[in-house]
Structures are given as C-alpha cells and as structure tokens.
Amino acid sequence: MAAIRHEHHCYELAPGQSVLDSLLENGVAIPHSCRNGVCQTCLMRAVEGTPPPEAQKELSPTLRLQNYFLPCVCQPTEDLTVILPAGGEATIPATVHELRPLNDEILQVSLEAHTALDYRPGQFIQLFRDEYLGRSYSIASVPGHDERIQLHVRRLPGGKISGWIHEELRVGDTVGVRGPAGHCFYVPGLPEQPLLLIGTGTGLAPLFGILRDALARGHTGPIRLFHGSRDQDGLYLTGELRDLAAAYPQFDYVPCVSGAAAAAGQVAGRADDVALTEQADLKGWRVFLCGHPEMVQQAQIRAYLAGAALNEIYADAFTVHPAPRHEENETKYTKINMVTV
C-alpha cells in the first residue's frame, strides 16, 4: 500500500483512494475543483517516486518530464513525496473592480491584483473562491492597454465557481489569484506572418487578447478570427471586433452560427469548418485554437494536414459539463499548449 509524504507528514493511502482525497482527508489544503483530471487546479509535483502514467496523461511533455501529476486521478503503486508547484502555496489577493455582462451568460470580470502580475494575453490565471475551490480562466486583457486583468466567465448550471461569480461576487470584493501560466499567446518577431484564430464560446477570451496584442505590437500580416456559437445569443464582443476590423485592414472577423439561421454579417456553420474551408492552405501560418476540446483536437489535426507546422499551432482547450455540442464550453484547462499529432 503506497504512502504520500507532504511537508514532513506521511499519509497511507486506502485502497482505491486518490492522492488528493488522502491529503484533503488529512486536513491538507490543496487547491482543487473538478476532481477528475480536467481543470488541473490541483497540479502537484513528485520530488521522490514516480507518478503513474494515468496521472500525467493530460499534461504537456515538459510537465511530465518534471514529474508533475494530477493528484485527483493519481492512485500510485509506490511511495511519493509531493509538493505544490513553485509558488503554488502563495495566492495573491485581487480586488474586483468591474463586473460587465457581455451577453446573457457571460460576465467580464475585471481584477486588480495587489501584486503586479507579469502576464501575456492568452495565458490564464487561477481564480479562487477560497483556499480549496478555484478555476482557471484565460486572460482577455492586454498589459499597457487595459488597466486591469479581464476574464470572461460563462455561467454553468451547477458550476460552483461560475455560479458564485455570477450570483454572489460583487465589485470591491477580494478574491485570490495564482499564475499566470500557459503558452497560448502571441510571440512577436514575424510581423508579416498570417495568423488564423479559431474559437468557440468563451474561447474568444484568449483570442481577443492575442488579437489585440498582435495589433498593438504592429503585426502587419493577415489576421483572421472565426468565432462560433450555436446561435446569435452566444456571440459576444461583436461590436468591438467589427470596429477593430474596420480600423485594421489586415484583420478579418467572421462570426459563425452552427445551430440556427445566420443573420446578416454571420456565416452558417461551425467555426472550425468555416475557417478551414475558407483557409485550406495553412503553410506558413500561425494557428491559435481555443474552445471545446473536441473542436480543438479535430482542428489541430486538420490545420496540420493543411500545411501548418507543428510548432506553429497553439491550442488551448476548455472542458464542459456536460458536452453535447462544440459551442457549449466554459471551464478552462491546459491540456494542450503546443500541438502533438
């Protein structure tokens, strides 16, 4: 029977018990949320012993090589000595400065961290209700252009964090944040390279940040953004995006509706289908994919087959509860930061 060592204490696992359940049962405060290996809020690292492969399969190769694992799905067969990620025990307080509805389901949360965060648009931070419950959200703001950190939070039925944000959080409240993290962001240096951005639901949040960051840094190559929803009500920031398209001739915005008739200025179909049909040759393009994991995974393969280089495809998948359609997405996780086909 395996044992877990954490901060000079040793806990023996019961049969079938996960590392997370054992630590929580013994009063150890480990940030967590989904408890099924999706959100990665509970990420830990083994400094002695080897985590089982199933506790690492959703992580990037760089994290696996450093012995990071997800304790919520980890049932080790050998003893492990574990720690939280570097800085993971320090949660930074942040003040809520604005709560702005973007549509009937999505709320923009503007935060000012009490300690400055050095972030890139498209990365994510973890937002904590308390020391136990947190959720990861992509950053839509651009440093130097937006005064505060901006997150897009969709209300989920039964969502502990999204429900709290929509129903209880108020301007002036203090929350905890941790991060930033993630590799899905704009990298300057090739201003003429064409960029393809495809997102569904609140997958628009990182893309909105990436787009504005690229424009602010003087990107001159074509930028095409395809954002998808089942109906018109699921689209948002359409006015802002159309204004950007009018101001920057290199930028093209295509809102897509997959489950209803498309209105004027919209295209019928799923965002990934529309985008990869219109842009069939992606040789030399940089591609960003954000949203429902099934869409992201399928679009990764299709983008690669269309000629995009592996190291030019950046993916940021969101999970859903439940997941019957591509556009019904909300909660973020970092399953894939660089594509592997």
Give the residue extent of every domain in the chain.
3-83, 92-181, 195-332
The rounded distance, in Å, linking the Cα atoms of 17 and 32 is 16
**Percentages (nearest 5) of helix, strand, coil residues in the chain:** 25, 30, 45
Six token digits for residue 220: 């001159």
Q: Which residues pair with 289 in a beta bridge?
A: 198, 315
More confident residue, 112 or 315: 112
Model's pTM, two decimal places? 0.72
Write the CA distances from 146 to 113, 140, 232, 247, integer angstroms.
13, 9, 27, 18
Q: Could you report the per-residue pLDDT of 239-286, keeping only the tens digit for each?
A: 999 999 999 999 999 999 998 888 888 999 999 999 999 999 999 999
* Selected residue with higher pLDDT from 66 and 228: 228
pLDDT in the model for residue 86 = 58
Q: In which band, very low, low, confident or very high, does the pLDDT at 226 lie, cut at 50, 70 and 90?
A: very high
Query: How do residues 117-166 score in pLDDT, each as one tens digit?
Result: 889 999 899 999 887 788 899 999 999 999 999 999 999 888 889 999 99
Residue 139 · residue 149 · CB < 8 Å: yes
> pLDDT per residue over 16-26, tens digit each?
999 999 999 99
- Cα–Cα distance between 70 and 118 in angstroms, integer? 26
Element holding 332 (H helix, E strand): strand 331-332
For 195-332, CATH number out of 3.10.20.30, 3.30.930.10, 1.10.3720.10, 3.40.50.80 equals 3.40.50.80
Report the share of the chain in percent with pLDDT over 90. 68
Residue type at 87?
Answer: G
Long-range contact pairs involving 94-97 (C-beta distance under 8 Å, separation at least 24): 94/149, 94/174, 94/175, 94/176, 94/177, 95/172, 95/173, 95/174, 96/169, 96/170, 96/171, 96/172, 96/173, 96/174, 96/175, 97/148, 97/171
Distance between CA atoms of residues 15 and 287, nearest Å = 45
Residue 41 pLDDT: 85
Alpha helices in 66-183 (DSSP H): 160-167
Q: How confident is the model at residue 340 (pLDDT cuts 50, 70, 90)?
A: very low
How many Å apart are CA 71 and CA 40, to the nearest integer? 9
Q: Give the mean model confidence (pLDDT) for residues 60-76.
A: 84
Q: Which pLDDT belongs to residue 337?
A: 36
The answer on pLDDT for 15 being more than 80 is yes
Residue 334 has pLDDT above 80, yes or no: no
The class that CATH gives domain 92-181 is mainly beta
Q: 3-83 in CATH: which number? A: 3.10.20.30
Amino acid, res. 170: R
Per-residue confidence band for 304, with pLDDT thresholds at 50, 70 and 90: very high
